[in-house]
Amino acid sequence: MLPIAALVAASGEDGWSGFWDAVSSPQAVAALKLTLGASLVVAVVNAVLGTITAWVLVRDEFRGKAMMNAVIDLPFALPTIVAGLTLLALYGPRSPIGIDVAYTRAAIVLALMFVTLPFVVRTVQPVLQELDREMEQAAKSLGASEAKTFGRVILPNILPGILSGVALAFAKAVGEFGSLVIITGNLPYKTEVSSVYIFGRIESGDGTAAAAAAVVLLVISFGVLLSIGVIRHVTVRHDRA
């Protein structure tokens, strides 16, 4: 069972030129561009909002904080398809607040934000918790303002946490399928992401094209895993101070 990943790579090679044709087909390229673009946007948004959320959870005290902490894991617990449905309910045609983004690119971003929400929060939280308050106190006693303290003392220390969270979020977003199937309508060239494109190719029996696109996604996944490993490695060196 385990070497499946390796075998996918091999299976993708159903003819090298065939591979290239499949990968560069306009529909595949459009899907890929959309996937990468949306994932990038979501990753950045997550970096900011996720860090803020983690900050509030670690540094702030208020009633209901524990519940807030628990809610964050919802995307881990809820099936992706149900997530898509719930988003559709609030932001789709029968929306009670009048926002209808179904079948648009905004829907993609929305769905991806749902499924990737926990990642940055959960990677930054422990780092923020472990952060030595005395460092900040030292900076303040030396005259640094709140903003400066954050920028020069706190941020560099939580950056590895943010980065690995972003990497994980990006990887999840690129491969996301279930939550997008309903809300985006899967319109080719408009709202079709790579994973949906691949699925479409499989259902039409075009295994080669599907495999080719899959290999591209696989390479991206490996790339992300690698960068997470690198981040971890660099962090360890940092900690020894």
Residues in region 137-196 near other proteins by CB under 8 A? 168, 171-172, 174-178, 181-182, 194-196
Nearest to 83 by CA among 51, 58, 37, 117: 117
Distance CA 181, CA 192 (A): 9
Between residue 69 and residue 108, which ones bind other proteins under the rule CB under 8 A? 69-83, 85-87, 89-91, 94, 96
Q: Which is nearer to other proteins, 144 or 202 (CB)?
A: 202
Q: Which is nearer to other proteins, 139 or 167 (CB)?
A: 167
Nearest to 194 by CA among 37, 79, 71, 4: 37
Distance CA 32, CA 11 (A): 20
Q: Which is nearer to other proteins, 51 or 157 (CB)?
A: 51
Cβ 60 to other proteins shortest distance, Å = 6
Q: Which is nearer to other proteins, 163 or 182 (CB)?
A: 182
Cβ 189 to other proteins shortest distance, Å = 19
C-beta separation of 56 from 48 below 8 A: no
Cβ 232 to other proteins shortest distance, Å = 11
Q: Which stretch binds other proteins (CB under 8 A): 113-121, 133-141, 152-160, 184-192?
A: 113-121
Between residue 13 and residue 72, which ones bind other proteins under the rule CB under 8 A? 49, 52-53, 55-57, 60, 62, 66, 68-72
Cβ 17 to other proteins shortest distance, Å = 19
- In the chain, where does DSSP find H-type helix? 4-12, 16-23, 26-59, 65-71, 74-77, 80-91, 105-130, 133-141, 146-149, 155-175, 178-183, 194-203, 207-239
Distance CA 189, CA 176 (A): 17
Number of residues that bind other proteins (CB under 8 A): 72
Compute the Cα dihedral for 9, 15, 16, 18 and give only its sign: negative
Q: Which is nearer to other proteins, 54 or 139 (CB)?
A: 54
